Structure 1
Amino acid sequence: MTSLIANLRRLNDHLAIAVGLALLACVAFTLSEIVIRRFAVSVGGVDEISGYVMAVTTSWGVSYALTERAHVRIDLLRNQMVPLGRSILDVIAIASMAFMAVYVAWRGWSVLSKTLSTGALANTPLETPLWIPQSLWWAGWSWFAISACLLLIHAMQSLIRGDLSSVEATAGTKAEV
């Protein structure tokens, strides 16, 4: 399972780079729109596309933050506990995150499913078929749910084995205790 978690981290590193490149492309698109507007020309749809890019990159970026243990946690109580207590709180924290991620992915599917069944288009000049950005958005949340569940399983297995340092490395905070 440890190699699976290492591969998950590596994959999320690559996804984070892809997300960063998508954001840079969005910035370049926005800047080019600003420049060409000086010549009374407009590509149009920059705000719409930027909104889609922000939603998609956020949904994919949370998995990277999860594997990097970068999500915000209030660990005042945790830091005062013995290692076993910290590990139990870490497992509770990752379980909460996994539950939330699964719930968001599940609810996101109902949004995408409705869009697919109706063939909805954006109410904008681009008339973007909404299944395109919603599919990418939902895939990101689904990946987050998968990542969180894998980390939860690993943390629980480590806790059961008594490998508290592995629980810390998987689900703990990056703050020094």
Structure 2
Amino acid sequence: MEHFAAFAARLFGVALVALSIFVSIETVARKLFNFSFEGADELGGYVLAIGSSLAFVVALVDRAHIRIDVLHARFPKRLQAVMDWLSIVSIAGLGLFILYVGRIVIVDTLAYGSTAPTRLGRRR
């Protein structure tokens, strides 16, 4: 898992650098040549959404939640185990809820033939 976390951190770093270069080129092209690539903000949202998910994985694997770990280390081992179990069940429940709601959204999207109301969504 540590290899995945390191890979995810590097991947997010590369994606952020690529996004910043793309946005810089987009800004210069708009100001100097009155030309836009369209969709830079949408791509930025995608990169940040995926990147923040990867960052949460890295923080979890590296145990980088400092404020939680300070309290957790002071609890008795039995209470630590109970809290760890509760956190796993809570995260699993949240994941299942997101999966349930996501399935509803996907079914509705396919039923209505919906696309994103953005430049990238209108391209076909």
- The corresponding residue for 1:22 is 15
Normalised TM-score (structure 1): 0.55
CA distance in 2, matches of 1:73, 1:116: 43
- The corresponding residue for 2:3 is 10
Question: Deviations for 1:124-175, whole angstroms, at most 9, x for unmatched residues?
Answer: 233257xxxxxxxxxxxxxxxxxxxxxxxxxxxxxxxxxxxxxxxxxxxxxx
CA distance in 1, matches of 2:61, 2:122: 33
Runs of 5+ unmatched residues, structure 1: 1-7, 130-177
**Alpha-carbon distance change, 10 to 31 in structure 1, aligned in 2, over 3 angstroms:** same
Within the candidate set 92, 109, 113, 1:115 is matched to: 109
User: Between the two proteins, what is the percent identity of the paired residues?
Assistant: 32
Question: Deviations for 1:60-115, whole angstroms, at most 9, x for unmatched residues?
Answer: 43333322223476467644422222222222223222222232233223223332
CA distance in 2, matches of 1:62, 1:55: 11
Higher helix share: 2
Q: May I ask how many residue pairs the two structures share in their alignment? A: 122
CA distance in 2, matches of 1:99, 1:73: 23
Within the candidate set 53, 73, 77, 2:47 is matched to: 53
CA distance in 2, matches of 1:69, 1:118: 43
**Alpha-carbon distance change, 77 to 61 in structure 1, aligned in 2, over 3 angstroms:** closer
CA distance in 2, matches of 1:61, 1:72: 15
Runs of 5+ unmatched residues, structure 2: none
